[in-house]
Amino acid sequence: MPALMSRYSLLAVTALILVGCSPPVVGPPEDGPRQGSASPPVTAAEFDVGPIKSAADYLAEPRYADPDIERGELLSLACLACHTFSIGEPHTLGPNLGGLFGVPAASKAGFNYSLALKESRLIWTPRALEAWLAQPADFVPGTNMVFAGYGAASDRRDVVAYLLQATERRMR
């Protein structure tokens, strides 16, 4: 291992490998049907994002009453491979996620989003992000995001709970 590889880089690479090994999920974020079932995957076009609230209001919901924030932070390293979290940070391979919740998908200036995501009319809520993170390519067919998804609903809940905090509180 090169001496220049930092602990953070090692953790990020390890998280990417582990996430890539997770089995893909088809369906809604509430432990919906698994791949191979007769139910077709849910797509953004037919998805109800639910009410638009503040990050604090979402975190007060029963679904986020007891998330594993440390696990969510670890899982978010896969996101950090392509995204930045702090408000005001630049886009990288993916768009900056600062201030993500309550915002229409593909609406941040300065990033070249896929046509599919631009036309999705999706609003980022925790419910929508959990559905997206189950299997992005099925949720928004034609997206440019190359990510297999998080197989477990608890992983999606934990990473979204972490992102609710991390993308709202950090300022550059």
Q: In this predicted model, what pLDDT tens digit does every residue of 22-70 receive, in sequence order?
A: 444 334 444 443 444 434 567 888 888 888 998 889 999 999 989 999 9
Q: Is 150 left (phi over 0), alpha (psi -120 to 50) or beta?
A: beta
- Percent of the chain topping pLDDT 70: 74
Secondary structure of residue 26 in the 3-state scheme: coil
- pTM, rounded to two decimals: 0.75
What are the distances in angstroms from CA 14 to CA 17, 134, 155?
A: 5, 20, 16
Per DSSP, what are the bridge partners of residue 171?
Answer: 87
Architecture of domain 7-27+39-169 in this structure: Orthogonal Bundle (1.10)
AA letter at 99: G
